[in-house]
Amino acid sequence: MALLNKIFKKPRKEDAPAKKEAAKKPAKPKKEPAKIAVAETEKPEAQKPEAKKPAVEVVRESQAGIFISPHTAEKAIAAQRLNKYVFKVGPKADKISIAREAKKKYGVKVLSVNIVNLPAKIRRIGKTSGYKSGYKKAIITLAEGQTIEFKNK
């Protein structure tokens, strides 16, 4: 190990403070960034024209994308007796937009909307495995005496 100590000399404790003081240089004063002069010809903030607001209300999702189709499973058809109708809806649809669209499209009074997000499921055919895509469905509860008639395909 003595050979390595000769190659990588460690400074002695006596010499270390003297070298540190010699290594220190006087600090240079920091330069301040130059300030940019503002031209007086620019218009003040109050005189600039404001951007116009859009006249049309922004819709989150296209109206055709909210309701995809009525869900016609056995359990969904049985729920119609309780004034609950089940629809497959778009992935970005929320409760408020679903209620608005149901009122607009079918002319009914909506009491409540429940949303169920169904995940994708793995399906196999022989060796090949894939996914059955997931979807979102909405359960719409209508007021007493209200009904929705579906068109037959």
Query: Under 8 Å CB-to-CB from 74, ≥6 apart: which residues?
Result: none
Count of domains for the chain: 1
Query: pLDDT digit string (tens) for 135-144?
Result: 999 999 999 9
Instruction: Please indicate, yes or no, if residue 16 is contained in any of the structural domains.
Output: no
In a domain, residue 31? The reply is no
- Give the domain range for residue 94: 63-142
Establish if 106 belongs to a structural domain: yes
Which residues neighbour 11 within 8 Å (Cβ) at sequence distance 6 or greater? 19
| Residue 36: per-residue pLDDT | 61
Burial class (CB in 10 A: 0-12, 13-18, 19+), 112: exposed
CATH number at residue 114: 3.30.70.330
Note whether 102 and 140 are within 8 A (CB): yes
> Has residue 107 been placed in a domain?
yes
Q: 149: pLDDT confidence band, cut at 50, 70 and 90?
A: confident
Do 86 and 148 meet the contact criterion of CB atoms below 8 Å apart? Answer: no
Q: Each residue of 40-95: pLDDT tens digit? A: 555 555 555 555 544 444 344 455 579 999 998 999 999 999 999 999 999 999 99
Read off the pTM.
0.56
